Amino acid sequence: MIELILASSNTHKAEEFSELFDSKIVIVRPATKKLDVVEDGLSYFENALLKAQAYYKEFKTPVLADDSGLNVQALSEELGIHSARFGGDGLTDKERALLLLKKMEGKSDREAYFTCVLCVYLNEKEIFYFEGRMNGQVGYTYRGEGGFGYDPAFIPTDGGGELTVAELSEWKNKNSHRAMATGLAQKFFSQRS
């Protein structure tokens, strides 16, 4: 069994990872305090590593860091690694999702996918990455109460093609980009021990 602290003080995110991992293999706990890490990497991998290194340096214990985002074909320069800052500072998750829907008005190419890159930083010499992806498209309306972020504006391909991720809470637990990346990490660490 491996115990990791999450490179975030976000208890919601720590709970989500705890539910995704089998606690006999990986245990994830939130960090006791939030660090302000400048995420100026040019990829999900670089940003996840920046967070992992900062938390490892501060807490001197193995770290799980993730960088996730929504990649939209028609707005390729605006989201991706900038998803959390889309539209500027001070917007709520709902305001960002509504802004996305507004910017997509009149666009026929609605192809999109969520990416999650996990960085498991055991020490300076043992750093592992796991990537998950959830394909789909940007919807036309904001729908659903579940999930967070862009979930009410995203229709996953494998979810039936009609409901948003926010309307598919149980499905999301097993099929999200984060679930896919976590599954790869769990398989790796179960075979490693």
- Positions marked catalytic: 67
Torsion-angle region of residue 184: left (phi > 0), alpha (psi -120 to 50) or beta?
alpha
If one counts every other C-beta atom within 10 angstroms of the C-beta of residue 191, the result is 8
State the Cα–Cα distance between residues 12 and 48, nearest whole angstrom: 18
Listing from the earlier edge strand, what are the strands of the sheet with 154-156? Answer: 26-30, 2-6, 63-72, 111-123, 126-138, 154-156
Written as six digits, the tokens of 98 are: 């509504």
Q: Is 103 exposed, middle or buried (CB count within 10 Å of its CB: 0-12, 13-18, 19+)?
A: middle
State the Cα–Cα distance between residues 119 and 150, nearest whole angstrom: 22
